[in-house]
Amino acid sequence: MQRFLLALALGCVAGLARGAPLETYGRLPNIEEVAVSPSGAYVAMVATDGEARSVIVKSTADGKLRALSQAGKVKVRGLTWAGDDHLIVATTSTQLGFELEGPQVERTVPIDLDLNAHKTRGLMEGTGQGVMAMNTIHGAPKVRTVDGQTVVFARGTYFEGGGRGKVGLFKVDLAHGHTSLVQHGTSDAYDWLVDGAGQVVAEAAYSDKAGIWTLRIKTPASGWQKVERAMSPVDSPDLVGMTSDGRSIIVEESDGANGRTWRKVSIETGQWSDANDAAIGEMPLVSAADGRVIGAFSLVGDEPRYTFYDPKDAAIWRGIQKAYPDDFVTLVSWSTDHRTVVARVDSAQYGPAFALVDIAAGSADWLGPEFVGLKPSDVARKTSIRYAAADGTEISGYLTLPTGRQPKGLPLVVLAHGGPAARDKPGFDWEAQALASRGYAVLQPNFRGSSGLGDAFRAAGYGQWGRKMQTDLSDGARYLEKLGVVDAKRVCIAGGSYGGYAALAGATIDHGVYRCAVDYAGVSDLRAQVTSSKIRYGEGAARYWRRFMGARDDSDPVMATYSPANRAAEADIPILLIHGRDDSVVPFAQSQKMAEALRRAGKPVEFVELPGEDHWLSRGETRLKMLQAEVAFLEKNNPPN
């Protein structure tokens, strides 16, 4: 504890050094996506200018512009190279549901940018065979080389013979602009694996109603055969990829409380065996060229750790980390030979930026910062902390302190992450940094139920929605109060999605801790959220929510008990509600209901509606509006000075 207090005191001087304007933190990142072409000759980036996005392609040799495509206000979510001449741009939009009716969902719309012809087309256009395919895909496309030609495989929605929509696997011939259905979908099939030669080798299906997962593989001797049929009521297994020898398929399974396991099944024989020795880690790394697992990423403590099976890859990454020894460095993209690399370098002093590394030349160039206009004085210090919850459970988290203030008697904002199966990580966080720039200490706890901290820790959150998951947050505030770092009378809570629920629960359930609450896109009615998720995404999504809520079924009274909208009369602090009207995860109606309940109870509430905004604050104008409203509310109800 003495070391922790000393670390807090270092670098602090008298007086508050106010940071950059809120626009610097609240605008869209200057660079959102980066991808290197297979040969390493080109690098593509999604750059923003205010509300507008552009896709820029430059030569890595001389920086000359090869292509510029103005996306405007379109939301660009990903870039996938298909050879050096085609760039698949994944955009999303809020559209009608799977059957083109009912509640809206966020759909991925792929665009093929032909760099030689200087034109664009919908990736899924040009289907035949009596199939009408929508120009939407599920998940990232897979690129393979077949008979010397670059082709794209993508899961898409199609209609056949006037029937209901299905998800099938499509093969896109980019050279001729033709799209064909190579794997017909069933009502349950949802994923396929394609090997390096472009052959479909596995199909996963999941019965949402029955909770049964099925795996079929295509063996050379017997063709398609079913090799697994198992109950999987909440977590359906994932097809990770191929083994390094290309002879087996790796499957990640989870049974909920007991965590994840990895198994592999031989494509030749259909026999299963253990694959935990593959050290897949927190996130597998899969080769874009052939779908083989080449390594894994894990966050060990606060350090990013990459495990590569090829010693050459391991040596390359060690060299990159050595070049940025004091920074949080992650792999963004690399060429097929792994000699041209894009790394995200998150500096505690300057914030995050993207570096283009030429391994052969032993050189690196900056592509640009993620946030333009940040100076070292605008980036507050972020420290890893650990504390004990009331029942003794160790909770980890991060504390960001305002620059230029002694760590004593500070106003605090407890900032809860979404998910709830997600986690806060080291490195730059635009919202936490913005709040710290206004004089607030910001605590981001990884409460029980958070992911990436071990399966047992995640499972410890099951059934603790509004209970120990909630008190883990307030226990962190009490810990800082005992240290004298924060003033117990000057603590507020804020968060988005599940974190928004936590903010509402801090006002209606966990009393006596907070002075005000800021909820962005949070859940106020648990039963309504489960029902909405079931309609949009199926019974599996509803089971996910119920597991954390501790509800046996949709009629379980526990959902009413822990719904802030039902306890609005118990709110004892001012509440700010902020919600995007196009939210397809937590419906806008959740905030409407909370606002109405608070007003009926005569409780202080402010409600900021964000037209055209989704669940993820993808628009620059409304993201800034959210941040400005949050800061103004905090400064009114919990002044930083």
Please list, in sequence order, all residues whose beta carbon lies within 8 angstroms of the beta carbon of residue 127, skipping any fewer than 6 positions away: 133, 158, 170, 179, 180, 181
Q: Which domains, ranges and CATH numbers included, belong to the chain?
A: 2-22+374-525+563-637 (3.40.50.1820)
In this prediction, residue 128 carries a pLDDT of 63
d(CA 602, CA 209): 42
* pLDDT < 70 regions, the chain: 1-18, 96-103, 128-131, 161-163, 187, 233, 255-260, 276-281
**Which H or E run includes 490?**
strand 486-496
Q: What is the pLDDT of residues 512-561, one digit of tens each?
A: 999 999 999 999 999 999 999 988 888 888 888 999 999 999 999 999 99
Question: Could you read off the pLDDT of 213-248 as tens digits, one per residue?
Answer: 899 999 888 888 898 888 776 777 889 999 988 999
Q: CA-to-CA distance for 541 and 532, rounded, in angstroms?
A: 10
* Three-state secondary-structure class, residue 15: coil
Which tokens is 391 given?
Answer: 């029942």
Of 315, 253, 308, the C-alpha closest to 285 is 308
Query: Considering the entire predicted model, what is its pTM?
Result: 0.92
- The backbone region for 30, taken as left when phi is positive above 0, alpha when psi lies in -120 to 50, beta otherwise, is alpha
User: 191: which 2 tokens?
Assistant: 């994923």
DSSP string for 157-207: EEEETT---EEEEEEEETTTTEEEEEE---SSEEEEEE-TTS-EEEEEEEE
Tell which residue, 31, 20, 13, has the closest CA to residue 434.
20
Both structure tokens of 141? 């496309």
Residue 306 φ then ψ, to 5°: -110, 135
Strand ordering across the sheet containing 293-300: 283-286, 293-300, 303-308
